[in-house]
Amino acid sequence: MCRCARGGRRGCGDRGAEALEKAAADLRARHGRRVLAVATDITTAEGRKLALDAATKLGDLDILVNNAGGPPPGNFRDWGRDEWLKALDANMLTPIELIKATVDGMIARRWGRIINITSGAVKAPIDVLGLSNGARSGLTGFVAGLAREVAQHGVTVNNLLPGPFNTDRLYKTMEGGAQKAGISVDEMAQRRAASNPTRRFGDPAEFGATCAFLCSRQAAYMTGQNVLLDGGAYPGTF
């Protein structure tokens, strides 16, 4: 989860302190901006308070980017109530709580951007990602109503739906399929990349650039949208 304040100052939250600080240091070095890193579990009330309290030290919270790793793949027959609640907490309820904590300030200042990073599975569900399909679709429904409510105040709310991007998460989700097919994960990755219309996976920098656009003034008339970045993998017209 990232929160941005005015003047190019940024706050980022994650559970892994070492990796998070490394990313923050890289941003400081490349852009010469103040970046505040907070290692916390954002799915807890205490974690959200810690992150938000730290972020407000940077100034007004004008941009909120909600992003959480998806729940593990598997077969729905193996999931009990606890697994479902954990998925809903991380991928639906936590983003809603963070929106609730920040949107009124954006409304008061008559400017704000809220981006929820969900998944291409919202439009084209993936059978082994049932937990993610359900939780992220719930968030999408909530956002559809909220976006229309706050648009008059200069606040936009959009969702970014990544398809196959070259990340650790992608390779993790391919492990089961590779095992079933009796091939290595690398070979499975080559097959999947070849099946995409672009014949490759997405570059995370491409995703970041799209997110930056949605956070910009140029995107002020764009709200309540599910922006799919999947290299054309989704076969539908709409």
**Domains and their CATH numbers in the chain:** 60-229 (3.40.50.720)
Greatest CA separation for the chain? 57
Whether 183 shows a pLDDT value over 80: the answer reads yes
What is the per-residue pLDDT for 12? 54
User: What is the average pLDDT score of the chain?
Assistant: 90
pLDDT of residue 14: 52
pTM value > 0.85: yes
**107 phi, psi to nearest 5 deg:** -60, -45
Handedness of CA 120, 228, 122, 218 (dihedral sign): positive
| Among 4-8, 56-60, 74-78, 84-88, the least confident range | 4-8
Strands (E), the chain: 2-5, 10-14, 35-39, 61-66, 112-117, 155-162, 226-229
Evaluate if residue 197 carries a pLDDT over 90.
Answer: yes
68 close to 94: Cβ distance less than 8 angstroms: yes
Find the helix packing angle between 130-150 and 94-109, rounded to 10°.
20
Whether the predicted pLDDT of 10 surpasses 70: no
Q: How confident is the model at residue 170 (pLDDT cuts 50, 70, 90)?
A: confident
Find out whether 174 and 189 touch, Cβ atoms under 8 Å.
Answer: yes
**Token representation of residue 18:** 């070492």
CA distances from 11 to 43, 70, 208 (A): 17, 21, 16
User: Is 2's pLDDT higher than 60?
Assistant: no
Instruction: Indicate the DSSP class of residue 139.
Output: H
Alpha helices, DSSP H only, in 110-165?
Answer: 130-150
Lowest mean pLDDT among 7-11, 135-139, 145-149, 181-185: 7-11
- The percentage of the chain sitting over the pLDDT mark of 70, rounded to a whole number, equals 94
CA distance 220 to 149: 15
With 60 as the cut, is the pLDDT of residue 154 above it?
yes
Determine the pLDDT at residue 4: 44
Tell me how far apart the alpha carbons of residues 189 and 193 are, in angstroms, rounded to a whole number.
6
List, for residues 111-153, the tens digit of each pLDDT value: 999 999 999 989 988 888 899 999 999 999 999 999 999 999 9
